[in-house]
Chains A and B, each alone.
Chain A
Amino acid sequence: MKNIFNYIERESPIHELTGATKLICLVLFSVGGMITFDTRYVACLAIIALLLFRISKIRLNEVSILLKFTLFFMVFNNLVLFVFSPQYGVEIYGTKHVLFGSGRFTVTAEQLFYHLNQMLKCLAMVPIVLLFVCTTNPSEFASSLNKVGVPYSVSYSVALALRYIPDIQLEYHDISRAQQARGIEMSKKENLIKRLKAAAEILIPLILSSMDRIETVSNAMELRGFGKNKKRTWYTANRFRAADIAAIVFCILLVAGAVAHNTLNGGRFWNPFTAG
């Protein structure tokens, strides 16, 4: 309950980068992963992601629960993909190499290759997000946002969200138990409409008391001069170093690489079936 965002304090080159750098890199990396489906490129991304993960000194067992979710999600999502469009691979690659089976669910090499692509993407993206979450100190995150151009008012909203999540979580826990004691239930025993009404009965006290909280907190902030100037400084601000610039340049190159790939391949997919 304490550390919902899983920040793990440690000394590593990744930890030392500013939160802003890491956020920019995360976005660039995501863009790189989004715009191309070239298997070779995505495989490279996955390898880079895993390498970075090693450098961060985060141990696998520290994030094992999350990785189990990933595994579950990957299998589930691919099953759904297959059930919905078992011939999607054929559509994309334009050839049909039947491996086995017949009818709608004929398994083709193209479809399997498409699934491989999807899984590789997952393998490239998951470590990067994990890395961001585990190595970014929540305290520094808001100041980072401000540094990359987000107005400080919005950055502070993010800081406030992080600040009050644990309080609200506790309050929700207490309120929902006290309401359960009075007999409000959201379990499957009731029909959907009743369940939603029950949810509202639990949420009403939580949200009304949050509205009071908004008033108290904004009073407290105003009394201490929030919003006085066009800028504000941050206690947790981190200075940009050479490594930050290097990391961002590296990620820009990655994106450029992806764009180049797409242009050379003449599409977002690399097609081994017609190439060979």
Chain B
Amino acid sequence: MKKFSVKTIVAIGIGAALFFVLGRFVAIPSPIPNTNISSQYGLLAFMAAVFGPLAGFLIGLIGHALIDFSWGGSFGGIWWSWVIASAVCGLIMGLASKKLDLSGGRFNGKDIVRFNVTQIIANIICWGGIAPALDVLIYHEPTEKLVAQGLMAGIGNIVTTAIIGTLLCLAYAKSRPQKGSLEEEKDA
């Protein structure tokens, strides 16, 4: 395994903590009764875009597993299939990071498209493919139900990430000192 920088290790830890808090406590009511929108995938896409695919993978993996653990497995154990799907989602989203330069303060029109195309592909692969496939294998529930569940989650996550993820990237890029026009004070 590639050696992580200390900063990436911390980003994984804090990213997973944020993923957890968002997934566990931030309730945005969705149009479907009794279900909430998962804002954590917007965060995941953002963190992956800044810190890369491996960080994205681990944030999704650790964050999602911790959410399931905190419910004490009360939703029928740990849903390993969805945990893995979250992780792979972070991984694929992170592939965009190579072409982005958020820390350098850049997030222009082209980048927005790049970021969103990647997240849409990631969500389709994970929630339309990986999650239901693993579910069929592990839980042996009817495929229709699993695909319906996956599609609902996938579409929800695409919309969430398109809005929350994009806005986060914009805000972060704007908060970075722009190249060549740095503030004078480093202290304070």
Asked if the two chains touch in their complex, CB atoms less than 8 Å apart, one says yes
* A residues neighboring B (CB under 8 Å): 4-6, 26, 30, 33-34, 37, 63, 66-67, 69-70, 73-74, 77, 80-81, 84-85, 88, 118, 121-122, 125-126, 128-130, 132-134, 151, 153-154, 156-165, 168-169, 172, 176, 186-188, 192-193, 195-197, 199-200, 203-204, 206-208, 210-211, 213-215, 217-218, 221-222, 226-227, 268
Chain A nearest CB from B163 CB (Å) reads 4
In terms of DSSP, what is the predominant structure of the interface of chain B? helix
Is the pair A196, B37 in contact by a Cβ cutoff of 8 Å?
yes
Contact of B6 with A by CB under 8 A: yes
Closest 5 CB pairs of A and B: A129-B73, A160-B13, A125-B77, A85-B142, A161-B16
Is the pair B71, A34 in contact by a Cβ cutoff of 8 Å?
no
Tell me the nearest residue of chain B to A161, going by C-beta.
B16
**A176 vs B21: C-alpha distance in the bound complex, in angstroms?**
13
**A218 vs B168: C-alpha distance in the bound complex, in angstroms?**
22
CB contact under 8 A between A203 and B25, given known A66-B74, A165-B17, A215-B7: no
Is the pair A125, B76 in contact by a Cβ cutoff of 8 Å?
yes
23 A-B pairs with CB atoms under 8 Å apart are A5-B70, A34-B139, A37-B140, A81-B142, A122-B76, A126-B72, A128-B73, A154-B12, A156-B13, A161-B13, A161-B62, A172-B21, A186-B29, A196-B39, A196-B164, A200-B163, A210-B14, A210-B18, A214-B10, A214-B11, A218-B9, A221-B9, A226-B9
Is the pair A164, B1 in contact by a Cβ cutoff of 8 Å?
no
Is the pair A73, B74 in contact by a Cβ cutoff of 8 Å?
yes
Residues on the B chain within 8 Å of A165, using CB:
17, 20-21, 66
Chain B residues with a Cβ closer than 8 Å to the other chain, count: 63
Residues on the B chain within 8 Å of A193, using CB:
163
Contact of B113 with A by CB under 8 A: no
Is the pair A30, B159 in contact by a Cβ cutoff of 8 Å?
no
Chain A nearest CB from B25 CB (Å) reads 6
Residues on the B chain within 8 Å of A34, using CB:
138-139
Is the pair B14, A73 in contact by a Cβ cutoff of 8 Å?
no
Is the pair A30, B4 in contact by a Cβ cutoff of 8 Å?
no
**A118 vs B75: C-alpha distance in the bound complex, in angstroms?**
12
Tell me the nearest residue of chain A to B16, going by C-beta.
A161
Is the pair B76, A121 in contact by a Cβ cutoff of 8 Å?
yes
Tell me the nearest residue of chain B to A5, going by C-beta.
B70
Contact of B26 with A by CB under 8 A: yes
